Structure 1
Amino acid sequence: MKDKIVIYQKPTCSKCRATVALLEESGEEFETVNYYETLLTSDKLRELIQKLDVSPRDILRKDEPAAAILRTASDDEIIHAMVHDPDLIQRPIVVRGDTAKLCRPPENVLDLLK
């Protein structure tokens, strides 16, 4: 049995909607987590970052106004800011088992369907 797929997303985000559509077309079962309603904890965000195999700065939405003050911030400070302001997190993030993909572009999700 394959690991469950979970997409962490914002339903109004076009990339998130496109990724959900690809998952629906695949026929794979998946769970969606709107991390604006079900806020991520620091521990959960750290887990996602580890599965993505990136640094917190790599998933920081640098175009967000609140990101400007994080240019010299530590990883812990960036995670703290992301937990308190989910707009700072790149999305969507799709997880399958111990692997995660930032689905920008949405087609990145196909790597998790193989």
Structure 2
Amino acid sequence: MIKIYHNNRCSKSRQGLQIIEDSGKNFEIVKYLEDIPNKQELKDIIRMLGITPIDLVRKNEAIWKEQYKGKDLTDNEIIEAMVNNPKLIERPIVINDSKAVIGRPPEKIIEIL
């Protein structure tokens, strides 16, 4: 099953959703600002993406700049920051079975469909 972690206010996320809709495949939308992933879900997503937790952070968000930027944070602290402030999670994230991709640019989503 395909899953997209989606924020409708984000143009890249909307474009990514359109790519999945156009594929005609079944999928699930996770509105991650409302249905916030827990620590284990984020760890699983990060593992599937093959990245480190800091690579999933939106570093231009005001929350990051004001509360976290320049601090020496552990991976667990970074994950905790994303759980507590889901706006920090990069988007869209698309998962298809055990494969995952950050849809930036949105066309990257096609690789795992």
**TM-score when normalising by structure 2:** 0.93
Count of paired positions: 110
Residue identity matched to 2:31 = N
Indicate the percent of aligned positions where both proteins have the same amino acid.
39
Structure 2 unaligned residues grouped into runs of 5+ = none
Deviation, 1:70, is: 4.2
> Which residue of the partner structure matches residue 106 of structure 2?
106
**Any idea what the Cα deviations from partners look like across 1:46-100, whole Å, max 9, x if unmatched?**
1100110100001111111222324321110000000010111100000011110
Q: How does 1:7-46 map to 2 (within 5 A)?
A: 7-46=4-43
Q: Structure 1 length normalisation: TM-score?
A: 0.92
Structure 1 CA distance for aligned equivalents of residues 37 and 22 of structure 2: 27
State the partner residue of 1:84.
84
**What letter matches 1:77 in structure 2?**
E
Offset at 1:36? 1.1
Deviations 1:21-55 (CA, angstroms, capped at 9, x unpaired) = 11111111111000111111001111100110100
Paired residue secondary structure (2:45): helix
> Please, which runs of 5 or more residues in structure 1 have no aligned partner?
none
Q: How big is the shift at 1:112? A: 0.8
2 CA distance for matches of 1:99 and 1:105? 17
- Structure 1 segments, 4+ long, off by >2 Å, are none
Which deviates more, 66-75 or 44-53? 66-75
- Counterpart-to-counterpart distance in 1, 2:37 and 2:20: 22
Is the counterpart of residue 73 in structure 1 residue 70 in structure 2? no
